[in-house]
Structure 1
């Protein structure tokens, strides 16, 4: 009996911080740099810092709701329990969030495969990248389905090793930077005068997805002891660390790599820059960092989102078979998410799906802040902080839709189309569940 309890409470603070870091530091730092520099130049570290403030404000409501409800359904369950009389909206949020996680897993796996075979003869083969991406999803699905403790220890190794590598990359850039710090701040001042505040906030909103993942800690509430201490501890530690990592690396990279090259190389700018500084070993170091980053993100996202899917399925808003567990692990849910993510990789169009994920997590974070404001007395939340979170997240949501409309309106149409499809599914399952409950209450 004692061993079963220990198995259920297998996640300590180190594992929980690792899960949050694994979910956040995926491919973000390897991709957002080029996009940001192309829009606002040397203001990039500032925009990334502002995005981190948005993430902290979003995390505040998640922490308060997580400690209050202690429900592994997290985002979905918070909304369901705060607004119990609106099952359709709970179902819709559940579908949006889970599909957002699935698209994120697919993107992480594709990024993993791209870095894994970069520089080899297979690098130009799209099918080689797809098959490797599907293979890495399968590996981490098996690890997650096998054991909570095994997943936690694997996540520890992947995350903390990747942090050491990212620290080494930053050190290399600082040591070999060709641009004096004074010159950087001079150019930053010029870009500040030339950039519109709206442009900076748009980039901050676009980088918000790079901070997504801290809420995965709450999905493991049944596998932790003292959640009232470990949930805020793990989330706040992880978010602060990620802000520090992103700001330091972006600052160091811009000292060492010409901005034109960062824009041209985009997601490979860190690898290319390290290669020019210390040769092939620099490139390999960045590749290893990217592989570890995406690996831990796949594992952490599978862990948290599969548990959230099981909770939603248990309420009848997904097929109920997805709610089944063995030794507390939703193995069918894990396999289903892995298969769906693999299908997305085979079909393609991951860039569009990523945009959907960006918008989804920003909107959902806004909804969580609104829910926390609704019950702020019960969660013992600050009215000022909660309102500030609502204001910032609402502004970010509007700006990212504005950016999509003015720059990539075709993608905006696709995002709206996906929302419509998911809304239809959520409506269907909510109606079916409502009818089932009615039959149970009034049997013939």
Structure 2
């Protein structure tokens, strides 16, 4: 029987998950850290994502389980309640951080053309309002939402393409010769470790490729289409990110990108192309973040309910109204709102990157453990583990050097998550239900 998801649909799902506002957010922050080298660091972040994807692909083809991250780790360590609980808690909070990031980006671009553009409190309030709007949409009904996904994905890709072309052919801030000279100067001026740090931070912009695996029961030939969809989508997204970041730096003064990093692309487009360019970027950002918020809340709330079914999260989270996990959606909205309220853009971005680097590291370790079953390369497995460890360490080290109080806050979150995961694992190990 022919399944409903072919290669084209799977690529759309992966791209839709990745291009969810990431490029609109990471551009200004990356440029503020390493200047004209930002496009190359963003592509390097894609290389890190490729190594992480290798483990997901191998485990996805082997297990063919729509539970993806949580299910893979649980099935690889079937006798460890601690392993299941930890991967469950970290995966869910990784999704919550991306939810907060998308909402923050939505808010930043929506108010970028108003008098509140630089008002942090208004940005946070509007981001929280957006979270709850999509929470109520998910609580009310999900019928018909899936039908719009392909159209929204390709529409935002088209907008990004148009923006890139307009920036390339605009009255540029610098020509290619000047750009090459600027890159050379930045290579001499900037510590090369900072390039790796930015690459690690931008890893979160590639999060979402694993959503392909959630559709394994509805796809044709998962053995072929899982790796094809994930690798092709990663290549396409890295190319898109590189083109738009490169064209932005060539067309827009670096100081403008840095000063307005929360909505750098909209501000720069307005300066180069006028109100039309600004509005086009805002539409693209809103479209990208809207689809990402909705799909992230939809998918991750159901994964949260499944983990709660296994008693590694509060039992109330698995309760449903029909097929809708009501309390899981509410819990995600509340937690994402708190994260937005207490943290700024950079904290949310870095927390999300560290979390997904750590979760991807656990996937790499799981794949390495059963590499003889997944037909994985030992060298590739070791390289992936080392690369992900280095990425996570670099972000933590950067936080310690530049914003120690923020690092303490992030570590406090992880300590709380770890204690909760340990507590639920302990209760599960003592329960007769297991």
What is the TM-score of this pair, normalised by structure 2?
0.91
Looking at structure 2, the residues matched to 320 and 230 of structure 1 have their Cα atoms a distance apart, in angstroms, of 35
What's the CA shift for 1:348?
Answer: 5.6
**1:309: how far off?**
1.4
Aligned pairs (5 A) from 1:37-436: 37-121=31-115, 123=117, 129-130=123-124, 132-141=126-135, 144=138, 150-176=144-170, 177-324=172-319, 330-345=325-340, 351-436=346-431
Spell out the pairing of 1:23-42 with structure 2 (5 A cutoff).
23-42=17-36
Number of residue pairs the alignment of both structures matches? 433
Rounded Cα–Cα distance in structure 1 between residues aligned with 2:134 and 2:209? 19
Which 10-residue stretch deviates more, 122-131 or 164-173? 122-131
| Residues 204-231 of structure 1 deviation map (CA, whole Å, 9 limit, x = unaligned) | 1111111112122223334445433332
Query: In the alignment, is the contact (CA less than 8 A) between 2:97 and 2:348 conserved in 1?
Result: yes
Structure 2: distance between partners of 1:186 and 1:212: 33
CA distance in 2, matches of 1:230, 1:122: 46
TM-superposed deviation, 1:121: 4.7
Deviation (angstroms), 1:12? 4.7
1:316 counterpart SS class: coil
| Range 400-409 or range 103-112, more displaced | 103-112
**What are structure 2's unaligned runs of at least 5 residues?**
none
Q: Deviations over 1:291-343 (max 9, x none)?
A: 11211221221233223212211211012343355776545433432343244
State the 1:410 CA deviation: 0.8
SS in 1 for 2:301: helix
* Cα shift at 1:414: 0.8
CA distance in 2, matches of 1:315, 1:129: 37
Secondary structure of the residue that 1:317 maps to in structure 2?
A: coil
- Tell me, what secondary structure is at the counterpart of 2:313? coil
Gaps of 5+ in 1: none
Relative distance call for 1:270 and 1:417 in structure 2 (3 A) is same
Give me the whole-angstrom Cα distance separating, in 1, the residues matched to 2:206 and 2:181.
28
Query: d(CA) in 1 for partners of 2:375 and 2:58?
Result: 8
Structure 2 contact 173–253 (Cα < 8 Å) conserved: no
- How far 1:165 moved relative to its partner? 0.7
**Alpha carbons of 1:156 and 1:146: their partners in 2 closer, same or farther (altered >3 Å)?**
farther
User: Retained in 2: the 8 A contact 1:22–1:299?
Assistant: no
Question: Over aligned residues, Cα RMSD in angstroms?
Answer: 2.6
TM-score normalised per structure 1: 0.89
* C-alpha spacing 1:429/1:59, structure 2 compared with 1 (3 Å): same
Shift of 1:130: 4.7
